[in-house]
Structure 1
Amino acid sequence: SVSNRSLVEALEAKVLSLQQQLLCNVEKIDPVPDAMLATEFRQLAKAIKGLSRQIQFNDSDSLIRIDAIRQSLLVGRVKQEDLKSAVRMRPIVEAFVWSVLYGRLFCSPFYMFESIDLANDFLVLFGEDHQHQWPSPTTSSEQWRLISMEQLLHQVGEEVITTGIVQEKCPQLEANIQRVRSKVKDNIEGYLVRVSPGTNFSRVDDIVDKAFSLALHIFLQRCRIQVVYPEVGDAYEGEQPHLDSIAESIEVEKGSVALIASPGLAKWGDGEGKHLDQRLDLVPAMV
């Protein structure tokens, strides 16, 4: 339609303007080494696993009786017979926590700012034909994403994102960030407390801090970095760059993915934002 074409043309003009700004600022960006991002991801995964070990189950169905857990992104993909296995209760807790983090934070660079408009602009401009309905990584898409992130970060600073401490630089945007952080915490704690009311959920604050810090760091890189996960039913043939087994499946050498306890971290391109067609798995998904 005419209105859609006008919208796209306006957004394309915005892309050109932002790319020109990026050329002036590109030297300010220091790429974070892959090993540091992988370590940060693993520290978050470790914190989530620690929370899962604190949960006390009354029975093996206590988790899956809660619709929000059973239907969450990663848990909802699991077959019913696999959900009922008591040995998988703790991995299901992990999968639920990761589902909340992905849906509220990692599925778009702009969700941490509660900027749905920017998230939609990203897709309208560059499409949804990459993994998990992201745009395919191109020089244009990654420059647009990066300069947009930098502009938002410039308004608020890192601390409000990584710790929730308000700096009073941009009250509305800071309030948005605090609201997203609160929603993540409330979603995780609010449902798990129904399963294990006696648990101390102070670990959730640390999980939120670690998740927002990781999201900020991966979305400020010139290359594309995404939290990724396989599909239930995908082939598993022992340890692979993008897949590894959880303790409950350690003896399985070949088979298919039945449960994703933890997603992985994948990178397209290099520190300079080149070679965006090349994928490197920094951390495998745990299945």
Structure 2
Amino acid sequence: MPDLNKFHWGRNHPKKKAAKVTEPISGDRHRSHRSPEAEELSSIAASIRCVIDLECLSEQGSSVSDQVSHLVNAHLVLKQEVGDLKKERVKPGTMNQEAQKPKAEWRDQAAQYSTHIREEHDLQVQPRREPEMQTCCANQIIDLKKRYEKEEQRVSEEHEVKVQGLQREIESLEMRAEEQRKAFIFEKIELEKIHKTKQDELRREEQRVGNEHKVKVQGLQRKIQSLEMCAEEQEKAFIFEKMKLEKIHRTKQDEQRREEQRVGNEHKVKVQSLQRKIQSLEMCAEEQEKAFIFEKMKLEKIHRTKQDEQRREERRVSKEHEVKVQSLQGKIQSLEMYAEEQEKAFIFEKMKLEEIYKTKQNELREQSKALESRLKQAHDQEQERLQKCIQSRNKALIARDNFSPITDGELKSMFSDLVGEVDALARLKWTLNESPWTNNLQGQLSDNPKRLQKQILQDTIWNALFENVFCSPFRVFRNEGTVLEFQWNKAFGADPKTDNDLYTWPQPSFDAERWRYETMSQGQEALRNLTSEYDPRTKLREGFQSSMMIIRERLGEAFMMVSKIDEKTEQDIKKIAEKAANMWVVFGTQRCRLLVAMKDLKTIEEVKEGPGKQDKSVELITRPGLRRIGDAEGKSWDKEQTVAGCEGEIRKILYSCQ
């Protein structure tokens, strides 16, 4: 019979020491001196040890249901054997003195042995049995759980690493495909822009090449789309397989966890019942020990087979996973090779098209140079012919209308008369001051208030005349002049270089200036001669009169803020307004363009001396300038010059605000 203490508790377990203590009592050398009933009691004590060992085995992970059934059967057999022994005992009255003496001896031995067994059980087994067995069982269960969790974590980490690698490869393929698509689209747009500049023959050739290129591109796009769809399907299948495996794994874990909980609960209940039954058991047989060892070996064999099956299942699943991963990697490599081949084909096609484009571009460049030289020569000839035609036409027109232009001396005389009258009117004495130019402000600007007041009135008069007369050729006709300004811009455009903040003149040309002086000639005739109310020129005369009234009102309001206006001052204001308007109408009928300049004039600085830095300035127009574009015959529109003796002047006053 094998040693149960060595079999169950191992090399260093305290049970082995307990076996040495009980060896003198339960050894084979004492069995020869015992009676049969003592031998039976000894076997019962051995069975009690078997029950205790069985409980230890059950806590170490063997099948509890099989052990419990085995214990129940053993208990029934023991009860039956004890009953048989009681029946076979001889009554005391029927025994002789010789038979009673050995019977008393083995009874004493049995009592001593039973007492020794109980003491051994109480002192050695019972105090340490439960915590040691529970600790051993818990440690083994914890070790098994840790090993299982480590293995599960390792498998999941390997799985995640492989999945991440596949995802990165798929993303790189998608990025490369997207870059190729963008490069192709950009190349396509560039080719289309280049093709549009070619001639009809080259355009047909480009259309043919473009159609072939589009067909190839569409094929590439379809292939790329199929590759992307295939990759997406493979990714979905991989994710589905992963989810399926994870679900199976979770279900197995849940089942195992529930089984462990159920077995643990049943084990606790049955252990408690067995503990109560063990206290009442005093006898056991050696056959139960053999059966228990056999059952234990059977359970261990079943446990090993289950572990082997689980390992084989894990290997199978990992091999299937590796096969799938390898197949996916192979497909990805094939896709990469296919993409590289397509990229090489695309680069070759691109180089071929670039060579064709360069050759065609060189041909076109040579053709364009030749055509440009021919066109330039023809253009120069046509320009020369048109110039001669224009000159002859201008001479014919000038000869036909008997126009006599105004000389520079006459221009200077007319403009200087207006400047002198404005200068005389600006000498008006200030008897009051309700204008924005307060006395304090005048004291900050100049030490000579009379000169400053004259400059202020000059600036006021010239700004009023420029706003209502000089800003455009037709502004003097008021509402009708606004219509003419719009028609002039609509017919000949507006040149931003001539913008004076109130009107933008067209670029100087023969047609634009002829339209201008012909229109102004009609206005001049309307002012000289009486016209019917149904004559369109009547509106020009009415607009002219309206402008005169507005100029007089504005100048009158400005003068009334600084002085009382008498009849003479009113006549002077009316005279200046009419002289400026009539002069401007005459200027508008000239073949050259005449401009009253309010900017870019000669500037004279006046510094008001005083404390502080003179960091403030005021500009006052004391005399505008008169400029001419073109000549008297209506030519040379690229020449602009100031009429001699009509240079303008601006007074710039520097002062300090302290």
TM-score higher than 0.5 here? yes
Counterparts of 2:519 and 2:639, CA distance in 1: 24
The one of 102, 106, 109 equivalent to 2:473 is: 109
1:206 aligns with 2:575: yes
Pairing of 1:51-62 with structure 2 (within 5 A):
51-58=425-432, 62=434
The one of 507, 512, 517 equivalent to 1:136 is: 507
Q: Give yes or no for contact 2:405–2:632 (8 Å, CA) kept in 1.
A: yes
| Closer, same or farther: CA 111–24 of 1 in aligned 2, 3 Å | farther
SS in 1 for 2:560: helix
1:260 aligns with 2:631: no
Q: Give yes or no for contact 2:592–2:633 (8 Å, CA) kept in 1.
A: yes
1:121 aligns with 2:482: no
Over the aligned positions, Cα root-mean-square deviation in angstroms equals: 3.0
Aligned residue number for residue 103 of structure 2: none
Query: Relative contact order: is structure 1 or structure 2 higher (C-alpha 8 Å, sep ≥ 6)?
Result: 1
How many angstroms does 1:158 deviate by?
3.4
1:93 aligns with 2:457: yes
Identity of aligned residues (%): 23
The one of 249, 268, 278 equivalent to 2:639 is: 278
The one of 558, 563, 575 equivalent to 1:191 is: 558
| Closer, same or farther: CA 153–50 of 1 in aligned 2, 3 Å | same
- Bigger Cα Rg: 2
| Closer, same or farther: CA 41–63 of 1 in aligned 2, 3 Å | farther
- The amino acid of 1:120's aligned partner reads F
| Closer, same or farther: CA 219–141 of 1 in aligned 2, 3 Å | same
The one of 231, 238, 243 equivalent to 2:602 is: 243
1:158 aligns with 2:528: yes
| Closer, same or farther: CA 182–83 of 1 in aligned 2, 3 Å | farther
CA-to-aligned-CA distance 1:91-135 (integer Å, 9 cap, x gap)? 111111111111111111112222211112223333132332322
Counterparts of 1:206 and 1:172, CA distance in 2: 22
| Closer, same or farther: CA 120–104 of 1 in aligned 2, 3 Å | same
| Closer, same or farther: CA 139–82 of 1 in aligned 2, 3 Å | farther
| Closer, same or farther: CA 101–244 of 1 in aligned 2, 3 Å | same
How many angstroms does 1:268 deviate by?
0.8
SS in 1 for 2:595: strand
SS in 2 for 1:150: helix
Q: Where in structure 1 are there 5+ consecutive unaligned residues?
A: 1-21, 67-79, 160-166, 232-241, 250-255
Counterparts of 2:508 and 2:497, CA distance in 1: 8
Counterparts of 2:443 and 2:649, CA distance in 1: 16
| Closer, same or farther: CA 63–26 of 1 in aligned 2, 3 Å | farther
Q: Give yes or no for contact 2:559–2:565 (8 Å, CA) kept in 1.
A: no
CA-to-aligned-CA distance 1:153-212 (integer Å, 9 cap, x gap)? 33x1437xxxxxxx3455443222211111111111122122111554121121012101
The one of 418, 421, 430 equivalent to 1:47 is: 421
- The amino acid of 2:422's aligned partner reads I
Counterparts of 1:83 and 1:96, CA distance in 2: 20
CA-to-aligned-CA distance 1:34-72 (integer Å, 9 cap, x gap)? 11111111110110110111232535xx43359xxxxxx
- The amino acid of 1:45's aligned partner reads V
| Closer, same or farther: CA 82–24 of 1 in aligned 2, 3 Å | farther
1:181 aligns with 2:548: yes
How many angstroms does 1:82 deviate by?
10
Q: Where in structure 2 are there 5+ consecutive unaligned residues?
A: 1-393, 608-616, 651-658
Counterparts of 1:218 and 1:276, CA distance in 2: 17
TM-score by length of structure 1 reads 0.69
Counterparts of 2:437 and 2:604, CA distance in 1: 26
1:149 aligns with 2:520: yes
Q: Give yes or no for contact 1:37–1:214 (8 Å, CA) kept in 2.
A: no
Counterparts of 2:396 and 2:477, CA distance in 1: 24
| Closer, same or farther: CA 143–245 of 1 in aligned 2, 3 Å | same
- The amino acid of 1:64's aligned partner reads P
Counterparts of 1:82 and 1:227, CA distance in 2: 32
CA-to-aligned-CA distance 1:238-269 (integer Å, 9 cap, x gap)? xxxx52759x79xxxxxx99332221100011
Counterparts of 2:560 and 2:405, CA distance in 1: 39
Aligned residue number for residue 220 of structure 1: 589
Q: Give yes or no for contact 1:100–1:188 (8 Å, CA) kept in 2.
A: yes
- The amino acid of 1:137's aligned partner reads P
- The amino acid of 1:243's aligned partner reads K
Counterparts of 2:593 and 2:472, CA distance in 1: 12
SS in 2 for 1:267: strand
How many angstroms does 1:215 deviate by?
0.2
- The amino acid of 1:190's aligned partner reads E
1:64 aligns with 2:436: yes
Q: Give yes or no for contact 2:524–2:585 (8 Å, CA) kept in 1.
A: no
Counterparts of 2:407 and 2:520, CA distance in 1: 19
CA-to-aligned-CA distance 1:199-240 (integer Å, 9 cap, x gap)? 541211210121012101211110110001225xxxxxxxxx
Aligned residue number for residue 5 of structure 1: none
- The amino acid of 1:286's aligned partner reads E
Q: Give yes or no for contact 1:227–1:265 (8 Å, CA) kept in 2.
A: yes
SS in 1 for 2:517: helix
Q: Give yes or no for contact 1:63–1:89 (8 Å, CA) kept in 2.
A: no
Counterparts of 1:139 and 1:182, CA distance in 2: 34
